[in-house]
Chains A and B, each alone.
Chain A
Amino acid sequence: MLLDLHTHSIKSDDGRAKVENYCQWIRSKNLPIDGFVLTEHRQFDAESDYSALAEKFDLCILKASEVETEYGHVLVYGVTPALQAEFDFGSISLPLAKVIAACNAHGAIAVPCHPGRPRVGMFAHTDALGVPAGVEIVEIYNGGSRDQEDQIAIEHASQLGYRGIGGSDSHIVSHVGRCATRFDAEIKSIDDLVLALKTGQFEAVNLKTGD
């Protein structure tokens, strides 16, 4: 099963894509992905219900978050009300250690995204701040990467023993599905996704390059 684990809709301040149009695009272009995860910036979109769209287009549509820490941006899968009470999702300077500890306490998982990117990527900060404890997975393929950002992510992840996921980081409709993650298991819910990430049965896929 192939899921794009990093997308933004108009719920994000810089997102320009309607979720229905993502679905139409995936089907009209016969993209090989089976669904996508909405990772809105600095929030968890609790109120939107995409179950009707998921059924209409036979796609898995899940919700997560992208939060901001001193190590850059971090995807959080498995957000619950209890996890939301642990820290301010709207903050732009969360301590990564606090985010990871809260995720671990509430059955969620934190995944630094575009870690090879200057300023907003984790590996831009490890020289100054050290390698953070508790990271197990990073995004190694990001659809918006420039220059050598993905290569930096892959090399550092390999050195540190991290596993890698892929996501398009799409903000407009036509960018969905540029990168994704292949799972052995069938994913139907966010709980399924968190379990699959924690048990390690997945691989990052770059659909731009075929890697």
Chain B
Amino acid sequence: MAISTIQEVVFGEDLPTFEPDTSLATTRQFAALVGWGGARFSDHEAARKEGLAGAMVPGILNQGYLVAMIHHWAPNAEIKAIDTVFRAPVIADEKHTISGVVTDVNEADGQVEIDLTVANEKGETRVFGTATVQLPIA
């Protein structure tokens, strides 16, 4: 169920998980569009030659997926901040899952803090962070 006001939010509630499109085709297209046409975002073999495990999803695309995940949960939310720590590359063509959970609710000012985690199929955290989200007050 989509959230529309701060009063509907419960401390500790999980946001619906989100499976980002980590396909190499999308990664390559995004990187080219933002001017990052390097091999590390577009070619697995070339990325391996750079010492990576494969081509990786650009960080700002991951941040975009985090925003999309939050808006699936609360379509009218205003995202005040997304703060990410990139622990390990998100490798293209590997399945990842984004999870989020509410860790602070301030009903007076309508703001919510959300923990965000991007994990691979082994359950390893690749990216974590927090978001500050503004919701309407009923």
9-residue interface stretch from B19-27, B39-47, B57-65, B80-88: B80-88
Bound CA span A208–B122, Å: 12
CA gap between A172 and B130 in the complex, in Å = 7
Closest CB in chain B relative to A6 CB, distance in Å:
15
> Do A172 and B128 touch across chains, with their CB atoms under 8 A apart?
yes
Main secondary structure of the interface of A (DSSP, over half): loop
Q: From residue 87 to 138 of chain B, which have CB atoms closer than 8 A to chain A?
A: 87-88, 101, 103-104, 113, 115-117, 122-125, 128-130
Interface residues on chain B, number (Cβ under 8 Å): 20
Determine the main DSSP class of B at the interface with A.
strand
Q: Does B12 contact A (CB under 8 A)?
A: yes
> Would you call B36 an interface residue if the criterion is a C-beta within 8 Å of the partner chain's C-beta atoms?
no
Choose from A144, A145, A173 the contact partner of B115 (Cβ within 8 Å): A173
Q: Which of A17, A24, A146, A208 interacts with B11 by CB under 8 Å?
A: A24
For window 169-200 of chain A, which residues contact chain B by CB distance below 8 Å?
171-175
| Interface flag for A147 (CB, 8 Å) | yes
Residues of B within 8 A of A16 (CB): 83, 85, 115, 128-130
Report the interface size class on chain A.
10 to 19
CB of A56 closer than 8 Å to a CB of B: no
A17 CA to B27 CA, complexed, in Å: 31
Residue in B115, B122, B124 with the greatest tally of chain A CB atoms within 10 Å: B115
Instruction: For the complex, give the distance between the alpha carbons of A16 and B124 in Å.
Output: 19
Q: Which residue of B lies closest to A22 (CB)?
A: B103
Tell me, in angstroms, the Cα distance from A10 to B83 when the chains sit together: 12
Binding site for B on A (CB under 8 A): 14, 16-18, 21, 24-25, 28-29, 144-147, 171-175, 208
* Listed A/B pairs (9) with beta-carbon separation below 8 Å: A21-B104, A28-B11, A29-B12, A146-B122, A172-B129, A173-B113, A174-B101, A175-B125, A175-B128
- 7 smallest CB-CB distances across A and B, nearest first, come from A173-B103, A146-B124, A174-B115, A172-B115, A16-B130, A28-B12, A174-B101
